[in-house]
Amino acid sequence: MKYRVIKGTKDILPVETAAWQHVESVVRRTMHLFGYREIRTPIFEQTGLFARSIGELTDIVSKEMYSFLDRSKESVTLRPEGTAAALRAYIENSLGEQSPLTKLYYIGPMFRQERPQAGRLRQFHQFGAEAIGSPSPLIDVEMMLLAVEIYRSLGIDKFSLKINSVGCEQCRPRYKEILIAALKNIESQLSPDSRMRIDQNPLRVLDSKDEHDRLLTAGAPLIKDYLCGDCKKHFETLISLLDSLALPYEVDGRLVRGLDYYTKTAFEISSAMLGSQDALAGGGRYDLLVEELGGKRTPGIGFAAGIERLMMVLEKSGTHSFTVPPPDLFFVALDDHARRWSFGKTYELRRSGISAEIDYLARSIKAQMREANRQSARYVLVVGEAELASRTGKLKNMKTGEETEVTLDALNIPR
């Protein structure tokens, strides 16, 4: 084969697009229900935007970005996530000046140059929401409800919502020192990966997949016990809200998000039906990010969800099988004259909203009937010399096999 898709990318074929469109429409409907409006930003941006927002030291920025120099030697990057661009657009277009709270959603492709595996692609698709302007835990909860509602609307109810607080610029540095001190004590027993993480990103050590690491850190200090007054209150309110709504959740003191910009609330929705990459959606609060990107100091929160992983869950739970509606009428034409007449009629019917189809290969009647059957056409009309002469024909119901006499010039296809 001469050309093939680039590693880690995939064609979404006609058999799958109906399911994708269904998911997209549920996403849009739910977003609108919750008062979020769509924003469409370019799929590439100045490299600095991502480096600045996501964090230079994160894996995404340090080794996974699709960056290249354009013809004017400017470094541009295919977006690895959606929040940075949404906030750039928010600031650039002064959306915050028009109303104090801006609620946005997006849906589209993202790019990260990682080694592909189950549930991980180099071009993948996400939908996500951002609420910019409110520091209230109410909006944190709305964000979780929004994500959960989308999954439920799609018939997915086996997932778990994990929440944590990662603190703020006040309490996180203090906690980090305490954690590093604790980790240094057991450093020699930790896995090589975790040993490196102590300096790079100590919080990561806590959610290591290495079983020995987990045992060793069982009693390690957790950030939720070291939150400052403000963060603590925020987290407690959040929890009481979730309790009052009877939204099942689990506090996971080891939950860490991979992007630097999160403050206070962090959450993740994961599915046991997926493989090793089990996160369906992840999000959190980013109270410093707007300012970091050059806007006014404005609190915000958002989440992003992977569509491919969602599709995997739908497929595994057997709730899929979406199809486009079949043709209402298939013309079987027996000669050139009939073909021309049927072709014209097809167009006429389509213009009046009836989905009509015709054979384009001048095949035998048997082959045309087979084609009509393959396409699951609801009705078939055989057109030959006799029909054109009498201006009447037999409309065949393909399900029952029964035929009824019709006049060609006033074709009426039963619903």
Partner RNA sequence: GUGGCCAUAGUUCAGUUGGUUAGAACGCCAGGUUGUGGCCCUGGAGGUCGUGGGUUCAACUCCCACUGGUCACCCCA
**CB 392 to RNA: min, Å:** 10
| Of 341, 379, 381, 339, the residue nearest 359 (C-alpha) | 339
Asked if residue 386 binds RNA (CB under 7 A), the reply is yes
Closest to RNA by CB, 149 vs 210, is 210
Question: What's the chain's Rg over C-alpha atoms?
Answer: 28
The Cα diameter of the chain in Å comes to 96
360 contacts RNA (rule: CB under 7 A)? no
* 326 contacts: CB under 8 Å, gap ≥ 6: 355, 375, 376, 377, 378
Count CA atoms closer than 13 A to 52's CA, side-chain side.
Answer: 16
SS3 102: strand
Task: Decide: is 385 part of the binding site for RNA (CB under 7 A).
Answer: yes
Element (H, E) at 26: helix 14-33
d(CA 67, CA 45): 10
The single residue among 201, 237, 317, 355 that binds RNA, judged by CB under 7 A, is 201
Distances (CA, A) of 206 to 167, 169, 195, 210: 16, 20, 12, 10
Site for RNA in 232-251 (CB under 7 A): none
Q: Tell me how many residues contact RNA (CB under 7 A).
A: 70
What tokens does 171 get?
């309490």
4-43 residues near RNA, rule: CB under 7 A:
4-5, 7-8
Judged by CB under 7 A, which of 77, 126, 164, 263 binds RNA? 126
Of residues 284-313, which lie at the interface with RNA (CB under 7 A)?
304-306, 308-309
Give 237 or 277: the residue with its C-beta nearer to RNA.
277
60 CB neighbour count, 10 Å cutoff: 19
Residue 364 binds RNA, judged by CB under 7 A: yes
Among 96, 137, 202, 282, binds RNA (CB under 7 A): 282
Binding interface with RNA (CB under 7 A):
4-5, 7-8, 58-60, 81, 112, 114-121, 124, 126, 193, 197, 201, 204, 208-210, 256-259, 268, 275-282, 304-306, 308-309, 334, 363-367, 369-374, 380, 382-387, 393-394, 396, 398-399, 401, 403
